A and B are shown apart, each in its own frame.
Chain A
Amino acid sequence: MSKTAVFIWLSNVLADTSGHIAFKRAATIESDDEWHRWKAMLSSPPIWIGIFCFVLELFLWLALVSLVPLSLAALLAAFNIASVVLAAKWVYRETISPIRLAGIVCIVIGVALGSTGL
């Protein structure tokens, strides 16, 4: 895998994780009713940071699949699942139960195995 591909993959991980974290921040905005909640969410920076991250991610995906086979890209993308869980622990102090930790370890091993020799 070329250095560019690695860079694009890591950027993709960063964009996806940041997007999820930003959306979560936006989703926790509370209001009296659903209409005002959406209004407040749409006028808050986190939701736009989230949208920006996901648009960026789409283009990073386009770049990644043009550099590596789709199968490898799909395997690499699974890393995002683990990174979001870890980031949520770091940012929102979400707990990682032993079973979740086992899930993260499996995914990391899976991604490492899937990308070996390439």
Chain B
Amino acid sequence: MKRRSFYAVGFGLLVLFDTLTLISIKLTSNAMGEFSTHSAWLMAAFHTPWFYAALAGYLGSFVIWMTLLKHAPVGAAFAASHFAIVPILIVSAMIFGEHLTGAQISGSICIVLGIVFLSLGESASSTANAISANARSFQITWVNSEADIPPELWDRLFPEPFEGRWWYQALEQCGISDQFTFFYALISDPSGPVALMPAFLMDVPIRLVLPPFLIPIVNLIGRIVPSVLYQRTFFVGSPCSDEGRVGVVEHANRQEVLNYVNSAVQHKADLLKVPMRVWKDFPQSYATELSSVPGNMFPMISYPGTLVSLPNANREAYLTSLKSRYRHGLKKKLKNSTAICLEADILQRPNGPIMDEIFELFWKTYEKGKTKFEKLNRRFFDLMASHHQSYFVVLRDRNTNKIVAFMLCFHMGKHAINKFIGIDYSQPKEWFLYYRLWDAAVQFVASLGGESIQSGQTGYTAKLKLGHKLVPLYNYVSHKNPIVHWIYSIVARNISWDTLNEDLALYLQAHPDEKVSCSA
């Protein structure tokens, strides 16, 4: 039997048995004669068959109730177990000829409404109980440093190509604690660790999320009440990873773990008095689970990631895979700029003066960017450069020997992450520095056997022309204040790729089929 028909038959039978029980009780009492406090009146019950019918009705209801409870949602079962009031009123009017007054009918409507409310409340509390039942087997430990998590656990739960321990170490050690406070949650069950979740606390400038027309108004209010300019937020994820991740061991039930993690995050945020919680930039692979996590989170589309594939780790195959006009465009740009005395180079662990040059270029590009979520510093770059998987793809002007562009790539097996970029915008446009740099990066990644490059959440126009695919990412948001939560959820529904970024808006006008809404 299908689940839906099972419920329908079960609930129907329950209401039927409850009704029959009450009718039998009424028929028993009719047979017993006028009520009296004498024992003879009571004993008369045992001499009427309806009394036994009532007992059988009780037993039947009990069996059906227990069977339903095992399979059906508590809320619905609870409502069904009291819903018999409706057929009883009908039966009492039709069979026993009782007169139903308007007040009685209104009263019964009120009661039914009350039962509906109670069953809704029952559903909510049973979900909460289910979580706390699971929660009993989980244990959470919050720590403030990546060093407090065993390295082997980092390797196991954040394996390549995900940014692992080294990444969080650099973020912690580079001295950006004025922007972020880092947290790590280690979730265990009796068998041992089951999940690792990086998180951070940040005062998010409200201008990053507001529609542009509201920014001047909020800035004006901010002069009087500075706190409105920032929204203190507890994030799950990393400040500058493209994708959010909670590392979960294979044998664990991911939904249960994520449910538990979310309730733990809520608790932690409450302790820290942080009203807003966001699971930052989680990919589609989490969509089903995060949408099912109890706790009233709504999805909000984020800046998409960008990913390009290098078939067979081969530059030529990559070029062939590009749309013909993009391929011709790229080849033309590369050809036109070959006369320029530029030299591509790959650097690992560059020395101090070179790092100065690189950081200067990064800073120029950062200043030019529109979306500034994090503000990284020189120390961060030094730490990144010291990692054995970091490679700087640089372009040098042969005449001056100065670096005019760089791209930092992390080599992760068959995958590479192209994370930070710096370009000397004072150089002539015909140098096509970005495209030259990209070509050098493709050649380098291909030479290491890399088959894909992840390129970050900015500069979409150029990346789309270079064959990148957009990777949908979602934020899952919750605010403690129900009114603010409601307003944000409405705002979130109206956010799409084209409202987030002008480049994307233009691209989607030409490719409407690639549009992704917030149907996470």
Interface positions of A (Cβ within 8 A of B) = 4, 58-59, 61-63, 65-67, 69-75, 77-78, 81-82, 85, 95-97, 99-100, 102-117
Query: Taking the complex as formed, is B317 at the interface, i.e. its CB lies under 8 A from any CB of chain A?
Result: no
The distance in angstroms between the C-alpha atoms of A69 and B82, with both chains bound, is 19
Whether the pair A74, B88 counts as a contact (CB closer than 8 A) is yes
B82 to chain A, nearest CB (A): 6
Across the interface, which residues of A come within 8 angstroms of B84, CB to CB?
A: 74
Across the interface, which residues of A come within 8 angstroms of B111, CB to CB?
A: 75, 78, 106-107, 110-111, 114
Stretch at the interface among B22-30, B325-333, B375-383: B22-30
Whether the pair A115, B107 counts as a contact (CB closer than 8 A) is yes
Across the interface, which residues of B come within 8 angstroms of A59, CB to CB?
A: 42, 45
Interface positions of B (Cβ within 8 A of A) = 22-23, 25-26, 28-30, 32, 34-35, 42, 45, 54, 58, 82, 84-85, 88-89, 91-93, 96, 98, 100-101, 103-104, 106-122, 124-125
Across the interface, which residues of B come within 8 angstroms of A85, CB to CB?
A: 118
Query: A61, A62, A72, A108: which has the most chain B beta carbons within 10 Å?
Result: A62
- Contact partner of A113 (CB less than 8 A), chosen from B96, B104, B124, is B104
A11 to chain B, nearest CB (A): 13
Complex A-B: 19 CB contacts under 8 Å: A62-B28, A62-B45, A66-B35, A72-B104, A75-B89, A75-B107, A77-B85, A99-B117, A100-B121, A103-B115, A103-B117, A106-B117, A107-B110, A107-B118, A109-B110, A110-B106, A110-B107, A110-B111, A113-B106
- Contact partner of A66 (CB less than 8 A), chosen from B34, B104, B113, B116, is B34
The distance in angstroms between the C-alpha atoms of A99 and B120, with both chains bound, is 7
Whether the pair A110, B92 counts as a contact (CB closer than 8 A) is no
Across the interface, which residues of A come within 8 angstroms of B118, CB to CB?
A: 81, 85, 100, 103-104, 107
- Ranked nearest first, the 10 interchain pairs of A and B with the lowest CB-CB distance are A114-B107, A110-B110, A103-B117, A106-B114, A113-B107, A107-B114, A110-B111, A103-B118, A100-B121, A66-B29
The distance in angstroms between the C-alpha atoms of A59 and B37, with both chains bound, is 12
Q: Which residue of A lies closest to B30 (CB)?
A: A66
A69 to chain B, nearest CB (A): 4
The distance in angstroms between the C-alpha atoms of A71 and B110, with both chains bound, is 15
B274 to chain A, nearest CB (A): 23
Across the interface, which residues of B come within 8 angstroms of A110, CB to CB?
A: 106-114
The distance in angstroms between the C-alpha atoms of A109 and B106, with both chains bound, is 10
Across the interface, which residues of A come within 8 angstroms of B107, CB to CB?
A: 75, 109-116
B16 to chain A, nearest CB (A): 15
A70-B96 in contact given A103-B117, A107-B115 (Cβ < 8 Å): yes
A97-B121 in contact given A103-B115, A117-B101 (Cβ < 8 Å): yes
Across the interface, which residues of A come within 8 angstroms of B103, CB to CB?
A: 113-114, 116-117
Whether the pair A70, B22 counts as a contact (CB closer than 8 A) is yes
Q: Which residue of A lies closest to B85 (CB)?
A: A74
A97-B125 in contact given A103-B116, A110-B111 (Cβ < 8 Å): yes
A71-B92 in contact given A66-B29, A110-B108, A111-B107 (Cβ < 8 Å): yes
A74-B92 in contact given A111-B107, A114-B108 (Cβ < 8 Å): yes
Q: Which residue of B lies closest to A72 (CB)?
A: B104
A105-B104 in contact given A61-B25, A97-B121 (Cβ < 8 Å): no
The distance in angstroms between the C-alpha atoms of A114 and B23, with both chains bound, is 19
Across the interface, which residues of A come within 8 angstroms of B34, CB to CB?
A: 66
Across the interface, which residues of B come within 8 angstroms of A4, CB to CB?
A: 35
The distance in angstroms between the C-alpha atoms of A15 and B48, with both chains bound, is 24
Whether the pair B89, A62 counts as a contact (CB closer than 8 A) is no
Across the interface, which residues of A come within 8 angstroms of B100, CB to CB?
A: 71
Whether the pair A66, B32 counts as a contact (CB closer than 8 A) is yes
A69-B96 in contact given A81-B82, A97-B125 (Cβ < 8 Å): yes
Across the interface, which residues of B come within 8 angstroms of A103, CB to CB?
A: 113-121
Whether the pair B124, A99 counts as a contact (CB closer than 8 A) is yes
Q: Which residue of B lies closest to A82 (CB)?
A: B114
Whether the pair A65, B121 counts as a contact (CB closer than 8 A) is no
The distance in angstroms between the C-alpha atoms of A112 and B104, with both chains bound, is 9
Q: Which residue of B lies closest to A78 (CB)?
A: B111
Whether the pair A70, B115 counts as a contact (CB closer than 8 A) is no
Whether the pair B114, A81 counts as a contact (CB closer than 8 A) is yes
B69 to chain A, nearest CB (A): 12
Given A72-B104, A110-B114; 18 other pairs, CB 8 A cutoff: A65-B22, A65-B25, A71-B89, A71-B104, A75-B89, A78-B111, A78-B115, A81-B82, A81-B114, A99-B120, A103-B116, A103-B117, A103-B119, A113-B106, A113-B110, A114-B111, A116-B107, A117-B103
Across the interface, which residues of B come within 8 angstroms of A114, CB to CB?
A: 103-104, 107-108, 111
The distance in angstroms between the C-alpha atoms of A78 and B112, with both chains bound, is 9
Across the interface, which residues of A come within 8 angstroms of B121, CB to CB?
A: 96-97, 99-100, 103
Whether the pair B89, A74 counts as a contact (CB closer than 8 A) is yes
The distance in angstroms between the C-alpha atoms of A30 and B92, with both chains bound, is 43
B394 to chain A, nearest CB (A): 60
B11 to chain A, nearest CB (A): 17
The distance in angstroms between the C-alpha atoms of A26 and B216, with both chains bound, is 63
